[in-house]
Structure 1
Amino acid sequence: MPPAPRHRRLDLPLIAWLTVIWMLLWSGPTWGNLISGVLVSVLLCLVFPLPAVELDLRLRAIGIVKLAGYLLYDMAVSSVTVTRQSLAGRRRLRPAAVIAVPLRCRTDLMIAACAVSVSCVPGGALVEVNGTTATLFLHISDADQPGRIERSRRNVWRLEALVVRAFGTRAEIERIRTDPPQHKEPRP
C-alpha cells in the first residue's frame, strides 16, 4: 500500500516573508518584484514543502518578563565581571574547565531555548548541546575558585527554570520542580 500523499498546503505567512526577502534582494518594492516574488514564493512552497511542525509552546507574560529581567541583570553583572578580569591584566591565567550540565527539560524546543539563553550571557561559552541526554557543555573561567563549577551549574538550572516557566507546557513546568539531576565529576 503506497504512503498517503502529502497535501501541499500554502503557508501564507511564509509566502509573505519570502516575498519580502525577494523584494529586498531585487532592490526595492515594485509591482514587478511583488508579482515575481509571490510567484517564486508559491513555487518554492509547492516544490519544497516544509514538514508539519507541532510547536507545543505556551507564552506566559509574567514568565517572559522574569526571564528578560534575569537575562538583563545577568548580562550586566557578567559584563562587569569580564571587563574587570580583562582590565586586571593578570599575568597568570586561571584554570578554565568544560562542565556538563544535565537539564530537566526534555523537549528539543526547551533545550534549544535554554542553550540560546545560556549563550547570551558573557563569561562562559556554550561548547556543545547533547539533545539525546539533554545536557549542555559549558566552558567556564576561574574554575579553580571554590564552588565555581557548582555555582555555574546552579545558574544554568535557574535559567532553565525561567525559560520553562516562560514558554513550557504544564508537564515541563512540573518536571523542573524536581531537583536537578546529579552529575558526578570524572575522577582524574
Structure 2
Amino acid sequence: MRTLRRIQWPLVVWLIVVWVLLWGKVTAGNVLTGLAVGVVLCLAFPLPPLELELRLHPVGLARFAARFVADLTVAGLRTVAQILGPGPLPCAVLAVPLRSRGDLMLTATAVAVSAVPGSAVVELQRSTSTLFVHVMSSRADAASLEQARDEVRRLERLVVRAFGTRAEIAELAGRPGTDPS
C-alpha cells in the first residue's frame, strides 16, 4: 500500500500517453503495457513530489502575451539587421540576478528569455537565482549591456505577474503581503 502512494499518477498517465503514441495505436494491450511500464519507471526512478504552484492572472497573462509578441517581433528584426549588417557581431554573456526564487518562475523566465531572438540562457544557478544569458547587442558598451539585463528583469516581472502566486508577486514588488497587479 505504501508503494502505491509513492507513485505519481499524473506522471504514469503521461507515460501511458507517450507509450501509446510510440506504438501508434490505441489498444487495450498498449494501454495496459504503458501502465505497467509507467508504474515500474516511477518505482525504479522516483522523482521528488511536484509542487505546482501555478496561478493564472488574466490581466498579467494578457500583458505578458502582448509584450512577449512585441519582443519577439522587435528582437527578430533587430537580429536580422545585425546578422546582415556590416562588421562584427558584438556578443556578451551576462549574469542577471533575478528576484524570484521559485523553480517554476525561474524556469518560465529562462524559457521566455531563450525564446526571444538574439538571446539564449547559457546557465541558471538555482542557488542564487542567477541567469547567465548570451546576448547579441548592437553596441558592446556598458549602457547596452545594462539595457539587456533590464529586459531580462522586465520579462521576469511579466512572467511572475502572469503565473506567480500572490506571495511571489508581492516578493517581486518588494511589498510583502500586497498584490501589485
TM exceeding 0.5: yes
Percent same amino acid at aligned positions?
A: 47
Structure with greater Cα Rg? 1
Matches within 5 A, 1:5-154: 7-9=3-5, 10-88=7-85, 90=86, 92-142=87-137, 143-145=139-141, 147-154=143-150
Give the TM-score of the pair, scaled to structure 1. 0.80
Greater helix fraction, Structure 1 or Structure 2:
2
What stretches of structure 1 move > 6 A for 4+ residues in a row?
none
Distance 1:55 1:118 in 2: 21
Alpha-carbon distance in structure 2 between the residues aligned to 1:128 and 1:45? 28
Q: Does 1:177 align with 2:173?
A: yes
Give the distance between the partners of 2:129 and 2:152, measured in 1 at CA.
Answer: 13
Distance 1:94 1:11 in 2: 47
Counterpart secondary structure, 1:80: helix
CA distance in 1, matches of 2:149, 2:164: 20
What root-mean-square deviation, in Å, do the aligned CA atoms of Structure 1 and Structure 2 show?
2.4
Say if 2:98 and 2:129, in contact at 8 Å, map to a contact too: yes
Instruction: Tell me the number of residue pairs that the alignment of Structure 1 and Structure 2 aligns.
Output: 173
List alignment gaps of at least 5 residues for structure 1: 179-188
Structure 2 match to 1:186: none
- 1:94 CA drift (Å): 4.3
Given that 1:94 and 1:144 are in contact with CA atoms closer than 8 Å, whether structure 2 keeps it comes out as: no
Q: Is the 8 A contact 1:26 1:33 kept in 2?
A: yes
Q: Give the TM-score normalised by structure 2.
A: 0.83
